Amino acid sequence: MTQLDSLRNPEDLKRLPAENLPRLAAEIREFLITEVTRTGGHLGPNLGVVELTLALHRVFDSPRDPVLFDTGHQSYVHKILTGRRDFSKLRSQGGLSGYPSREESEHDFIENSHASTVLSYADGLAKANVIQRRSDRTVVAVVGDGALTGGMAWEALNNIASAPDRRVVIVVNDNGRSYSPTTGGLADHLASLRMTQGYEQALDLAKTALNRAPVVGQPLYEALHGLKKGLKDAIQPQMMFEDLGLKYLGPIDGHDEQAVEKALRRARDFGGPVIVHCLTQKGKGHAPAENHEEDQFHAIGAAKPAPATGEQPAPAPQKWTKVFSREMVALGAERSDLVGITAAMLHPTGLAPFAEAYPDRCFDVGIAEQHAATSATALAMGGLHPVVAVYATFLNRCFDQVLMDAALHRQGVTFCLDRSGVTGPDGASHHGMWDLSILQVVPGLRLAVPRDAPRLREQLREAVDVDDAPTVLRYPTGAVAPEIEAVGRTGSMDVLRRAIRGGQSEDLLLVAVGPMAQTCCEVADRMADQGIGVTVVDPRWVKPLDPVLVEEAARHRVVAVVEDNGRVGAVGDAVARALRDAELDIPVRTFGIEQEFLHHAKRDDILAELGLTPQSLARKLTETVSRQSDRRAAEETASK
């Protein structure tokens, strides 16, 4: 039996002799490499926290002492140690989540995949412990150095430090990276700490020398005191944390389990807020990850089977992100005023080639979406046109800045929302299903949803030409949808299908939002085969809606909107409101995502569950058109 096979829960780990831990760490790394390279997932971050997580569960009593991860993609080892070793369906339907999950285990207090939030959770839990007199419990927060670039983390630190009786242990997992190398002043400060691991010994020597020096008058004393302070500041840069009122331990080799365990026991027994600074290596123990400069295998896709003998591998499909990336580089060559902004996701959002081509015009602000939006507003005020590339789910974090900074000041800032709609394996927190709803309320904002690669390029250019309002471009993850050429144009809208049944009246106007155009065209073809007249339009810009859409609707019996977003308050509701304002009595069907937190599964599987497939939509819409036709016929008979 392996060391790993002998573990069923954290109590088994506590009973394991210390000399067996290196072997266990090696087995866990081997397990992770084998399983995650097969299923896909966050490999690099978890290889870097093996010894750290072992020490956490040997020192603290989870779930009595809650262990919280920021972000949660570094929790795979935690899952293994708390009885969840079946990684066969990791991040797939029916399998383990890629993040902590309250549904999976009592050891998971929060589903934390939006960075910089865990210290606020820790603050609240510690306050609850004090109020309810649970003085023997400790809250543990594991924070990546990248997460500390987010302002919310510092708001929480300010509160945690204000109460010395709150038992909070903050473990800074410092690998110098988030997706990419961590940037900014905090990164520089942590780097200085990494360089001064012998500061305690050096400071002790300095103190001894100064204390033994003969006192020859006040000037010498002041000089010696100044030397002491200067030496302390030079070799003890952790003072930034201690000045906040936080006890600091470190830096500690995060791959020395015994050293980490010793530091954690000291922190636990201190009885107040303590920072334990651990230095780790992302991708530790897996040479391809250690040597991968871009993101050290932060997240990897599932392994693909090797092609049969003599078979040529299929060409890689074109990705939405790549289309955006290439067009940004082209635009950068044409416009010297174009600048890019990313929130610690230079490579995932596709801005890395732009940064390489125009290094002075691209800014990584760290995990700080709020700052990114307002800084971009000021860049626009300064005569530039900023493009903020961010995942759709993370736009939620800077809504106020989009509303009250960019829109209120009518500034030309373009927000490009990658991973919009149903994203798949990352689960509830990463589905980009809110933006089409929350952005509807922003005055003046213009919102485009391209259906394919040519439209993405085209509409990105249209967006950056707007200088008196914020613009938004949203597109999903994965392979680009098949190219669909318009068969006509009405106003600013593309007509993708027009099948007229018999006379002048058409049955259904189908409004296809962005990549749902392919699905809608297949729906139209199915319904046309049954003799139903269908017009499919792509509005291209869904905010504001072109008034021609109302005129087009007036020529149809039923209007339906299909979108990859929550149904409440999104494009479907905007279309229905436009028809009500025009006093048109035409039924509107809206198809999208129900307002619920979706689980993790493949995008196509989730869309099928939601009924957003050609077969399901065609059946429902055929029934709707039939009922409307029967109602019209009954009304006409009654009027005679």
Could you report the per-residue pLDDT of 151-179, keeping only the tens digit for each?
888 888 989 988 888 899 999 998 875 44
Class of residue 386 by CB neighbours under 10 A (exposed 0-12, middle 13-18, buried 19+): buried
What are the residues facing 387 on neighbouring strands? 340, 414
Ramachandran angles phi, psi of 429, nearest 5°: -75, -15
- CA–CA dist 273, 169 (Å, integer): 6
| Known binding-site positions for thiamine diphosphate | 73, 113-115, 146-147, 175, 286, 369
> 173-208 burial by CB neighbour count: b if 16+ within 10 A, else e?
bbbbbbbbbbbbebbeebeebeebeebeeebeebee
User: Model confidence over 21-70: pLDDT tens digits?
Assistant: 999 999 999 999 999 988 888 898 899 999 999 999 999 999 999 999 98
Q: Write down the pLDDT at residue 172.
A: 93
Q: What is the mean pLDDT of residues 517-526?
A: 95
Nearest to 545, CA basis, from 523, 561, 558: 561
Residue bearing the bigger pLDDT, 73 or 452: 452
Q: Is the pLDDT of residue 630 over 80?
A: no
* pLDDT mean over 310-328: 84
* Across 115-124, average pLDDT: 89
Please state the length of the chain. 640
Res. 233: pLDDT tops 80: no
- Exposure string over 25-34, b if 16+ CB within 10 A, otherwise e: bebbbebbbe
Longest dimension (CA), the chain: 118
> What CA–CA distance (Å, rounded) separates 463 from 449?
11
The backbone region for 237, taken as left when phi is positive above 0, alpha when psi lies in -120 to 50, beta otherwise, is alpha
Question: What's the CA gap between 25 and 504, in Å, rounded?
Answer: 73
Strands (E), 343-491: 362-364, 385-391, 414-418, 446-448, 471-474, 488-490
The residues with which 340 forms a beta bridge, in sequence order, are 362, 387
Residue (of 76, 79, 9) closest to 40 by Cα position: 76
Residue 216 confidence (pLDDT)? 46
Angle between helices 257-270 and 21-39 (to 10 degrees): 100
Q: Can you tell me the distance from the alpha carbon of 75 to that of 22, in angstroms, rounded to the nearest whole number?
A: 19
Over the stretch 533-592, which tens digit does the pLDDT of each residue have? 999 999 999 999 999 999 999 999 999 999 999 999 999 999 999 999 999 999 999 999
Given a contact cutoff of 8 angstroms between Cβ atoms, the answer to whether 76 and 32 are in contact is: yes
The band of 473, judged by pLDDT with boundaries at 50, 70 and 90, is very high
State residue 1's pLDDT score.
72
Known binding residues for Mg(2+): 145, 175
Give, to the nearest 10 degrees, the angle between helix 217-235 and helix 199-212.
Answer: 180
At 180-217, the pLDDT tens digits run 555 555 555 555 555 454 444 444 554 555 455 554 44
Higher pLDDT, 328 or 421: 328
Indicate whether 504 pLDDT > 50.
no
pLDDT at 459: 98
Query: For residues 353 and 347, what is the distance between their CA atoms, to the nearest angstrom?
Result: 8
Q: Taking the CA of residue 173 as centre, how many other CA atoms within 13 Å lie in the half-sphere pointing to its CB?
A: 32
What SS3 class is residue 362? strand
d(CA 115, CA 112): 7
Quick check: 313 pLDDT over 90? Answer: no
Each residue's pLDDT tens digit, 83-114 = 999 999 898 888 888 888 888 899 998 887 77
pLDDT score recorded for residue 582: 96
Q: Would you state the pLDDT for residue 322?
A: 96
- The CA-atom distances, in angstroms, between 595 and each of 418, 430, 518, 548 are 21, 14, 24, 29
Residues with catalytic annotation? 282, 369, 397
DSSP state of 311: P
Is the predicted pLDDT of residue 237 greater than 70, yes or no? no
Contact 426, 73 (CB under 8 A): no
Q: Pick 492 or 230 by higher pLDDT.
A: 492
Residues 6+ apart with CB under 8 A from 229: none
Question: Which parts of 229-300 are beta strand (E)?
Answer: 247-253, 274-279
Note the pLDDT of residue 624: 93
566-603 in b/e burial notation, b at 16+ Cβ within 10 A? bbebbbbbbbbebbeeeeeebebbbbbbeeeebbbbeb
Tell how strand 534-538 and strand 506-512 pair up: parallel
Percentage of the chain with pLDDT > 90?
61
Q: pLDDT at position 181, please?
A: 56
Any idea what the Cα angle at residue 68 is, between residues 60 and 418, rounded to 5°?
155
Tell which residue, 555, 339, 519, 296, has the closest CA to residue 422. Answer: 519
* Confidence band of 384 (pLDDT split at 50, 70, 90): very high
Averaged pLDDT for residues 218-242: 54
The DSSP bridge partners found for residue 292 are none
Mean pLDDT, rounded, for 262-277: 94
The secondary structure element, H or E, covering residue 232 is helix 217-235
Which of the four pLDDT bands, split at 50, 70 and 90, describes residue 234? very low
Q: Are strands 541-543 and 588-593 parallel, antiparallel or unpaired?
A: unpaired
d(CA 528, CA 186): 61
Specify the pTM: 0.80
Q: State residue 485's pLDDT score.
A: 96
Return the bridge partners of 590, or none: 561
The kind and range of the H/E element at 561 are strand 556-566
Query: Collapsing DSSP states into helix, strand and coil, what is residue 559?
Result: strand
Q: CB of 432 within 8 A of CB of 116?
A: no
- Cα 510 to Cα 278, 498, 535, 601: the distances in Å are 56, 10, 6, 28
For 611-620, what is each residue's pLDDT tens digit? Answer: 999 999 999 9
